[in-house]
Chain A
């Protein structure tokens, strides 16, 4: 299976703390993306990092990518209660006329106020 795995499966922290989630995948990729899913809602794209990039920032988000280890991490700094959600990594390989995302198993983040 190409399914990626995320670690931890669940994470509970206090508001203001940092949250780190890890993602491992199995195949070579063109890019890796992180998505957030609030309870009962669709997925929202957070950040994309390409295979030739090692680190990327967007607001309170920091993503790293290590293609030699086939792993990525998502760091959310100064977390807020509103960050409570499931976070998924997704890897992409270009193939033909479409882009296929393979999603990880997700990390459920709970930020306690």
Chain B
């Protein structure tokens, strides 16, 4: 069973469009994250949610809006896509507290904005 899943795996779209990426985890974790990995493999956190509450927002443009309907899901909606949004977006989850700090990553969504 897939622990952290993302859809779609690939997303090719035109500038100016609005798109969403979905993430689900079946690990029972209470915290979920979105990361962006650019073409140089630089991986940077974007958002973190704990029990559906926004905890981290790393100065991401407000065109990016995460939504957490429940603690097992964290979706990412992007408005007015720009060329610079092209990257691989990774969802991750973890259980905060105790000794369980390991983050489990999804397979990534490869976004290409034309």
Which A positions have Cβ atoms within 8 angstroms of B?
3, 31, 33, 35, 37, 40-45, 48, 86, 88, 92, 96-103, 105-106
Contacts and interface: CB of A to CB of B under 8 A. Distances in A.
Interface stretch (B11-19, B65-73, B76-84, B94-102): B94-102
Contacts of B44: 103
Contacts of A33: 101-102
Interface of B: 4, 31, 40-45, 48, 50-51, 53, 55-56, 90, 92, 94, 96, 101-108
A43 B45 CA distance: 13
A104 to B, nearest CB: 9
A98 B108 contact: no
Contacts of A97: 31, 50-51, 53, 55, 96
B102 A42 contact: no
Contact of B43 (A45, A98, A103): A103
Contact of B31 (A42, A99, A102, A106): A99
Give the one of B43, B48, B103, B105 with max A CB within 10 A: B43
Contacts of B108: 40-42
